[in-house]
């Protein structure tokens, strides 16, 4: 099984690939709709701006491909901006931009009003994991630290997708799971041992799914 | 809760560490990759590479160093020194840097900051501000590794960089750098309080209390140090334990 890391021309895909190499999981980086159409599992990484990313995804005609894969239950993991792209809409960059709409959630700026907190939210922050979460099953501590770099966050319209919460001024949802769709706001590829556990869990889910 | 970050910094010249760890068990003390691996294992929150290669002919070596380091390290990596253009930023990011620090080029052409932030996102654009005191409550921006005065007020400059899209400010005190007398706390606090983006305090760390002061009194989000870690006086773990004992949230 080879996981496909979607290259939509924004962000640093090699670092995600290296982290998978570290846990002996094969990946390829591709922006080819045909390759992604037959992927057993998909990672949507990303840093940068929502609008540019969605524009690229639509230009590369990957939106319908990703929708089709989601519909047939292919495991998909969105990381950071990749998590936000799975949402229905985002307010980043002004106005409302349509996302992939694969998870029932919307993207808005982190709320740090009436606090002395800074934006972007940069650095290591502990999260609080839901007991039933699949992505965090390899982590024993209930409040592991992960590396975050972001100014926007998702707001679920269906609370059942929440798999972890982080607190920065206010609580926000930093991980979501819904059927075969997974999303994390932090960077597992930069979060040392806990990050590796999250990627390992996704690789195992993908393996089980592709051999089913 | 967000943790205060402890960031060791390596000076790299022609692909080799010139000021780095002097541990006896290193197979090759000049290999940045090996030093990065040690800091990764020690629980450093990020790593900073400062490329001090004088000749522009040797720029390619830093890409190779970044690439090899990124193969080994699973913490964020900031690379600075000699970044002149959006293409330089892109090349460093593609090599595996998570953030790129810009100093001199931003002074020459501030629009570079906006262009780079729009293209790659603010989160990967760090503006390195080298500041020198010019009187009580006043600091001036220097470029070219602290050699060239610019006449620019450091506080106003940091604000402008934030407006143009910088994600973080790496503030180094030219008065304190290398003195081991501690951060320039008034400069750090004044600039941190003037901004809403995070500030990394740098320059002058000689003991672990200095790290505490940088966060507590300087209002920095992260502390950067070189020699106290490199010469084995203190480990990353010592630094974090000391900060935790002072009541600062750190990742242990």
- Kindly report, residue by residue over B196-249, the tens digit of the pLDDT: 999 999 999 999 999 999 999 999 999 999 889 887 889 999 999 999 999 999
Which of A120, A123, A145 faces B197 most closely, judged by CB atoms? A120
Condensed to tens digits (0 to 9), the pLDDT of residues B37-85 reads 999 999 999 999 988 876 666 677 789 999 998 888 899 999 998 899 9
Chain A residues within an 8 Å CB radius of B196? 118-119
Does the distance separating the beta carbons of A118 and B196 come in below 8 Å?
yes
Domain boundaries, chain A: 3-211
Tens of pLDDT, residue by residue over B86-111, are: 999 989 998 999 999 999 999 999 99
Phi, then psi, of B83 in degrees rounded to 5? -80, 120
3 state DSSP class of A72: coil
* pLDDT digit string (tens) for chain A, length 212 residues: 999 999 998 767 889 999 999 999 999 999 999 999 999 999 999 888 899 899 999 999 999 999 999 999 999 999 999 999 999 999 998 899 999 999 999 999 999 988 889 999 999 999 999 999 999 999 999 899 999 999 999 999 999 999 999 999 999 999 999 999 999 999 999 999 999 999 999 999 999 998 87
Interface of A with B (CB under 8 A): 10, 12, 14-15, 18-19, 22, 47-49, 81, 117-126, 145, 147, 149-151, 167-168, 187, 189-192, 195-196
DSSP count for chain A of H helices, then E strands: 6, 13
CATH domain A3-211 topology? Rossmann fold (3.40.50)
Cα–Cα distances in angstroms (integers) from residue A80 to residues A16, A46, A187, in the given order: 12, 6, 6
Q: How far apart are the first and last CA of chain B?
A: 13
CA dist., res. A100 & res. B51, Å (int): 40
The candidate with the shortest Cα–Cα distance to B73, out of B52, B42, B101, is B42
Radius of gyration of chain B from Cα atoms?
A: 17
pLDDT of residue A45: 93
Candidates B43, B96, B83; CA nearest to B252 is B43
């Amino acid at each position: 099984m080879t996981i496909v890391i979607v290259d939509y021309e924004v962000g640093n895909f090699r670092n995600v690939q290296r982290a998978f190499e570290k846990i002996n999981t094969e990946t390829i980086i591709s922006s080819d709709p045909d390759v992604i159409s037959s992927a057993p599992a998909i990672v949507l990484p990303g840093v940068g701006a929502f609008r540019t990313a969605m524009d690229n995804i639509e230009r590369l005609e990957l939106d319908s491909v990703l929708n089709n894969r989601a519909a047939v239950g292919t495991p998909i993991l969105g990381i950071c901006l990749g998590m936000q792209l799975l949402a229905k809409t985002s307010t980043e960059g002004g106005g409302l931009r349509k996302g992939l709409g694969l998870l029932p959630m919307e993207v808005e700026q982190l709320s740090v009003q009436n606090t002395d907190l800074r934006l972007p939210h940069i650095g290591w922050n502990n999260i609080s994991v839901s007991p039933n979460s699949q992505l965090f099953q390899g982590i024993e501590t209930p409040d592991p630290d992960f590396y975050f770099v972001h100014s926007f966050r998702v707001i679920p319209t269906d609370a059942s997708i929440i798999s972890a919460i982080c607190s920065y001024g206010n609580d926000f949802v930093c991980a979501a799971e819904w059927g075969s769709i997974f999303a994390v706001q932090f960077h597992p590829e930069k979060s040392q041992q806990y990050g590796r556990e999250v990627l390992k869990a996704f690789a195992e889910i993908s393996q089980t799914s592709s051999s089913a | 809760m967000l943790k205060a970050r402890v960031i060791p910094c390596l000076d790299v010249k022609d692909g080799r560490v010139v000021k780095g760890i002097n541990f006896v068990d290193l197979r090759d003390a000049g290999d940045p990759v090996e030093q990065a691996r040690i800091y990764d294992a020690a629980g450093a929150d990020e790593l900073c590479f400062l490329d001090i290669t004088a000749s522009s002919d040797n720029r390619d070596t830093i890409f190779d160093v970044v690439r090899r380091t990124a193969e080994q390290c699973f913490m964020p990596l900031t690379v600075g020194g000699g970044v002149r253009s959006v293409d330089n930023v892109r090349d460093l990011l593609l090599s595996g840097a998570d953030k790129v620090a810009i100093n001199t080029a931003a002074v020459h052409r501030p629009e570079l900051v906006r262009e780079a932030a729009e293209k790659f996102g603010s989160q990967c654009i760090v503006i390195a501000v080298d500041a020198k005191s010019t009187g009580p409550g006043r600091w001036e921006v220097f470029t070219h590794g602290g050699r060239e005065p610019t006449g620019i007020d450091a506080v106003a400059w940091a604000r402008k960089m934030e407006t143009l899209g910088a994600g973080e400010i790496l503030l180094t005190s030219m008065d304190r750098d290398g003195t081991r007398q501690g951060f320039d706390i008034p400069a750090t606090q004044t600039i941190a309080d003037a901004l809403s983006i995070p500030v990394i305090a740098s320059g002058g760390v000689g003991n672990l209390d200095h790290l505490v002061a940088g966060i507590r009194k300087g209002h920095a989000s992260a502390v950067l140090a070189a020699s106290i870690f490199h010469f084995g006086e203190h480990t990353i773990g010592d630094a974090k334990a000391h900060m935790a004992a002072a009541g600062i949230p750190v990742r242990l």
